[in-house]
Amino acid sequence: MSAAGAARDPAFGETTGAGSGEAADALPAEAAGAAFDEAPSYRVRALPGIPEVRAGDDLAKLIASTGPGLVDGDVLLVTSKIVSKAEGRIVEAADREAAIDAETVRVVARRGALRIVENRQGLVMAAAGVDASNTPAGTVLLLPEDPDRSARAIRDGLRDALGVEVGVVVTDTFGRPWRSGLTDVAIGAAGVRVLDDLRGGTDTYGNPLGATVVATADELAAAGDLVKGKASGLPVAVVRGLGHVVAPADSPDSAGGARALVRDAADDMFRLGTSEAVREALTLRRTVREFADEPVDPGAVRRAVAAAVTAPAPHHTTPWRFVLLESEESRTRLLDAMREAWIADLRGDGKSEESIAKRVRRGDVLRRAPYLAVPCLVMDGSHTYGDERRDTAEREMFVVAAGAGIQNFLVALAGERLGSAWVSSTMFCRDVVREVLDLPESWDPLGAVAIGRAAVAPTARDARDPEAFITVR
């Protein structure tokens, strides 16, 4: 973008007198060379002469004594490993896994022995950043406790020692989702505009930039890695020529540190690995009995039906049907008819009118829901054996398959951030339901599912120990 801008600058572009068409923009070699020399650029150099760092070392002093004259506006890229060593973050750990456990806040994904976790610093990375390389056997290196604080200490120390205003980025090496290969990123920063928010501006074509926030500190970290290398004993690099990314200590731009590069959970569309997401989706589904006064997206319900009908079923059948009650009128008609049927049952039980009125007055989860679905079982494709034992087993097989489909439905709704309550009432008045909803005789209602945004989050349930449900033979 900048180079293109320079080429169009009259000082370079308009004086060439070149021919027409595409060639009109081309510069003669000499002018092109001059334009190249003038184009935006920076230099990045590794800092030679940093000795093996030990616990208690003052990194700012080490850098100040070994570095070439640093100047205002330089940015130092400091490998986190030497920061950890200086801060004594080396621990005895014959068991690296235990050290990873201690640094882990939550597991994002796991495959075999590899764990991608969120660590105490909020960083999502392999093995919580616990490093067993470049450290004596039987020890592991933890990340700096607070890498932003570490960066500030180095920046302040260099100001004291050399009187220079520099930026400092503490870097570490990360893998990335979707991209092969590792790259350095900023885990700590001081005096650096870590993010360059271009939103509100326009590109060279005048298109508005609606989402462009550049991760400048990560770009600096990666630039430093190109000259530091991994095993060359060059843990610090200096970028010169990008003074505009350096922010004075008291400027609000430097306040956030590299913490500002950690995406908020609410904005993170990819918080979990696949198997972790499946597990979380399952536990996310809880019965919701109070709903917010918000309409339900019919598209979300259809996506949940699509998930429902992937459930296992006998003989390659598809025993699921879903009746969606999308209008208030249809819901009320069904619920009123079911109430009458219930009252008739209670009268049949010999209950007093007072007791019946009391029961019926009690809140009904289905009436409080902004959307209802009535899942039905169809026995299409079932076998008939002609004896009761096997015919009963056949029907039970279809019922459990129907239940599996409904569970899929509820889990998929939870994935759509929709709460649900699967209640049984339609099973107790199937003829009434079929009549009101005009369903074929062969459709068997299997309860009803109240659907809506949860008014309050369901209370947490203690994890159940699988062993209590298992018998091994």
Ligand X SMILES: Cc1cc2nc3c(=O)[nH]c(=O)nc-3n(C[C@H](O)[C@H](O)[C@H](O)COP(=O)(O)O)c2cc1C
Name the residues that contact ligand X, by CB under 6 A.
Answer: 286-287, 365, 421-425, 447, 458
Nearest alpha carbon to residue 324 among 281, 369, 293, 356:
369
Smallest separation (angstroms) from ligand X to the CB of 462: 12
Q: How would you classify the pairing of strands 167-176 and 75-79?
A: parallel
- Determine the Cα–Cα distance for residues 103 and 122; give it in Å rounded to an integer: 10
Please, what is the minimum distance in Å from the beta carbon of residue 461 to ligand X? 7
Specify the residue, 43 or 367, whose C-beta has the smaller distance to ligand X.
Answer: 367
List, in order, residues 6 or more apart from 350 with CB less than 8 Å away: none
CB of 286 to ligand X, least distance (A): 4
Under 8 Å between Cβ of 365 and 424: no
Residue 60 C-beta: closest distance to ligand X, Å = 55
Residue type for 86, please?
A
C-alpha 270/C-alpha 445 separation (Å) is 37
Q: Which residue lies nearer to ligand X by CB, 237 or 313?
A: 313
Minimum distance of ligand X from residue 63's CB (angstroms): 57
Give the residue with the Cβ less far from ligand X, 34 or 365: 365
| Distance of closest approach, residue 422 Cβ to ligand X, in angstroms | 5
Count of CB atoms situated within 10 Å of the CB of 293: 9
Nearer CB in complex with ligand X: 153/414: 414
Whole-number Å distance between alpha carbons of 375 and 143: 52
Q: Which is nearer to ligand X, 102 or 400 (CB)?
A: 400
State the first-to-last Cα distance of the chain, in angstroms, to the nearest integer. 69
- Per-residue tokens: 272: 């979990």
Q: Which is nearer to ligand X, 188 or 319 (CB)?
A: 319
Name the residue among 259, 247, 315, 278 with its Cα closest to residue 144: 259
What is the rounded CA–CA span in Å between residue 390 and residue 396?
A: 10
202 or 424: whose CB is closer to ligand X?
424
Q: How far is the CB of 287 from ligand X (least distance, A)?
A: 3
What element of type H or E holds 114?
Answer: strand 114-119
Closer to ligand X at the Cβ: 145 or 396?
A: 396
Q: How far is the CB of 365 from ligand X (least distance, A)?
A: 5
Among positive and negative, which fits the CA dihedral 270, 273, 276, 277?
positive
Q: Closest distance between ligand X and the C-beta of residue 447, in Å?
A: 5
CB of 272 to ligand X, least distance (A): 21
Distance CA 154, CA 80 (A): 12
Nearest C-alpha neighbor of 144 from the set 110, 190, 109: 190
CB distance 80 to 174 below 8 Å? no
CB atoms within 10 A of CB 242: 22
- Our CB check for ligand X shows the closer of 155 and 285 to be 285
40, 2 in Cβ contact below 8 A? yes
Partnered with residue 323 across adjacent β-strands are 374
In the bound state with ligand X, the residue whose beta carbon lies nearer, of 291 and 422, is: 422
Residue 446 Cβ, how far from ligand X at the closest point, in Å? 7
The Cα 229–Cα 231 span in angstroms is 6
Give the integer Cα–Cα distance in Å for 307 and 413.
9
Q: How far is the CB of 362 from ligand X (least distance, A)?
A: 11
Q: Which residues pair with 117 in a beta bridge?
A: 107, 125
- Cβ proximity of 257 and 194 under 8 Å: yes
Q: Which is nearer to ligand X, 224 or 375 (CB)?
A: 375
Judged by beta carbon, residue 122 or residue 458, the one nearer ligand X is 458
